[in-house]
Amino acid sequence: MRFHSPFEGPWADPEAGLFSVRSGDWRQQRPVANGARCCRCGLCFLYCPTGCISDRVTHFEAELEFCKGCGLCVYICPAAAIAMRAEEGC
């Protein structure tokens, strides 16, 4: 089964305006996925406040153009498959 969302990143047609804010510009740290640890539970997909996590079939991963670096996916992941790394220059 694959997870699908109308907000799956990139969220929407930038021409439409709504949901097209590039919130990745706000980020001071980024989530780095370890695909080998991911059990594909989908919790990060469900909890991500920007809805930017996508199902990559083998694992889940954030679309960094929209990820604002809140770290909630790291907190919610039961498999410790995501770690936050500081953005360079922040």
Binding residue for ligand SF4, selected from 12, 21, 70, 83, defined by CB under 6 A? 70
Residue 50 token pair: 């920007």
Count of positions on this chain that bind ligand SF4 (CB under 6 A): 29
50 near 66, Cβ under 8 Å?
yes
Burial bucket for residue 42 (CB in 10 Å: 0-12, 13-18, 19+)? middle
CB of 12 to ligand SF4, least distance (A): 16
CB closer to ligand SF4, 15 vs 60: 60
45 near 1, Cβ under 8 Å?
no
54 in contact with ligand SF4 (CB under 6 A):
no
12 in contact with ligand SF4 (CB under 6 A):
no
Residue 49 token pair: 């406040």
Positions touching ligand SF4 (CB under 6 A) are 31, 33, 38-44, 48-50, 52-53, 59-60, 62, 67-73, 76-77, 79, 81-82
